Amino acid sequence: MSQVDTLHRAARALLQRPLLRAAEQEAFRLVRSHLAELRSWFDANTGWRLHADSEVIRLHKEPALTDDATRPVRDPRNRNAFGRRRYVLFCLALAALERADAQIPLGRLAEQVLLLARGPAMADAGVEFTLSGRDQKADLVAVVHLLLHWGVLARVAGDEEDYLRGTGDVLYDVSRRVLAQLLVARRGPSTITAESLDARIAALGAVEALESDEATNRRIRHRLTRRLLDDPVLYFDELDDADAEYLRRQRPAIVRRIGELTGLVAEVRAEGIAMVDPEDDLSDVKLPETGTEGHLTLLLAEHLARTNAAEHHVEELQRVTRKLAVRHRTYWRKGANEPGAEVALTDASLGRLTALRLVERRGDHVRALPALARFAVAEPVFAKPPASAATPLFEGHDDA
């Protein structure tokens, strides 16, 4: 395999898993063998920092947009999205682990999280965590499973189910190398004095503003490349004038560099750009996909692309889902056509379509975005045989 091919594989491995541990031997070795090239490329084109030591490789990815809620953290076991309390518990758990010994029991971690949760900041934010019921314990266990998945924790003994039942505890090793690289921020959160959430998030990734054309162009290049790497579609009408003008002039060079590194292919339309993955393994949300939700998502995409309405109400789409559940009851999972099931099914499918930038949802209203047009199904057209054809296309036989 050529040097270019292995660099291509290394870049894709890093984009798939921005945090790699030495235990993931093949990907870890592959990325380490191309550290210099990858570090240089990401620094020049995205501004993302690439850290590597003997135990962990971390690509510190910073999003171009900080208000995108379509791709939340998910529980590694059941893929359920984190809610507000789980995000808070995650941050509190990291703070507790920062002060912990090399090993920590789950019960001890819970005690430390409880102490941190009793601070005035939590009360002012309306967040309450008391470990008083199974639901709150389950939220903490979901956070622990995420930390196990990322390698911050390693289970030594015990089982989380025993902790939930109150019949036992769990002991973990704490990896300080991984913990130290988990947070992606240019500034320590404790140094930020801004009051609003949006201002605090912006300050986490703020860079020193240098007043020069070169610095301005570099920031725009980083912003556009991040979006083309991370977002399924970049729509031109979402860009401000400076970004749009830079992209108009530099688009061939930007998409060429991305394609050379990753193998993604630019599909440029009048409305925007989609970086298509011929290998189909870089996206965490796919369409089409197997399973009940995957099939429904494809069918709803076709329905929305076929109709000419500027906007659709969620109740209308739920009615469509009910009809589809009856039609496909033989193939869909048990319970999909029970009364009320269409609500959760429709929400899940619209979540996928929103994450793929195919629709925009605002409350109970859904608007199709231009890229959804690729899922419109046209009526079949049957070509007529030439008038000079002496025989039919297919001749019948008695033994056919």
- Give the pLDDT of residue 209: 64
- What's the pLDDT score for residue 195? 78
**Distances from the Cα of 24 to the Cα of 3, 20, 59, 371, angstroms:** 21, 7, 15, 36
DSSP three-state, residue 352: helix
| Nearest-angstrom CA–CA distance, 311 and 180 | 46
How confident is the model at residue 397, as a pLDDT?
37
The dotted CATH code for 291-375 is 1.10.10.10
- Which amino acid, one-letter code, is at 351? G
Query: Of 3.40.1350, 1.10.10, 1.10.30, 2.60.40, which CATH number belongs to 84-182?
Result: 1.10.10
Minimal CA–CA distance to 311: which of 377, 361, 372, 375? 361
**What pLDDT shows up at residue 1?**
66
Q: Report helix angle 35-45 to 25-32, nearest 10.
A: 70
DSSP per position, 39-71? HHHHHHHT--EEEE-SSEEEEE---S-S---SS
CA atoms within 13 A on the CB side of 352: 23
Q: Helices 241-262 and 213-230 meet at what angle, rounded to 10?
A: 60
Would you state the pLDDT for residue 390? 45
376-398 residue pLDDT tens: 776 666 666 555 544 443 333 33
C-alpha dihedral (69, 71, 74, 77), degrees to nearest 10: 150
CA angle 348, 226, 199 (to 5 degrees): 80
Give the integer Cα–Cα distance in Å for 343 and 392.
51
**Domain residue ranges of the chain, discontinuous segments joined by +:** 3-60, 84-182, 213-276, 291-375
Task: Name the pTM for this structure.
Answer: 0.86
282 close to 338: Cβ distance less than 8 angstroms: no
Contact 312, 364 (CB under 8 A): no
pLDDT at 392: 40
Binning the chain into helix, strand and coil, the percentages to the nearest 5 are 50, 10, 40
The H-or-E segment that residue 267 falls in is strand 265-268
In tens digits, what is the pLDDT along the chain, a chain of 400 residues? 677 789 999 999 999 999 999 999 899 999 999 999 999 999 999 999 999 999 999 999 998 888 888 888 999 998 889 998 899 999 999 999 999 999 999 999 999 999 998 877 777 777 778 887 888 899 999 999 999 999 999 999 999 999 999 899 999 999 999 999 998 888 778 788 887 878 888 888 777 666 788 889 999 999 999 999 999 999 999 999 999 999 999 999 999 999 999 999 999 999 999 999 998 888 888 888 889 999 999 999 999 998 878 899 999 999 999 999 999 999 999 999 899 999 999 999 999 999 999 999 999 999 999 999 988 776 666 666 555 544 443 333 333 3
Name residues whose C-beta falls within 8 Å of residue 32's C-beta, 6 or more positions apart in sequence.
52, 57
Contact yes or no for 327/303 (Cβ under 8 A) = no
The position carrying tokens 């499973």 is 145
Backbone angles phi, psi at 362, to 5 degrees: -130, 105
- The end-to-end CA distance of the chain, in Å, is 50
Q: Within 10 Å of residue 63's Cβ, how many Cβ atoms?
A: 16
* Residue 54 CB-half CA count within 13 A: 0
| 3-class secondary-structure state, position 177 | helix
- pLDDT for 40 equals 97
Per-residue pLDDT, 384: 63
One fold for 84-182 and 291-375: yes
pLDDT digits (tens, 9 = 90+) for 37-72: 999 999 999 999 999 999 999 999 998 888 888 888
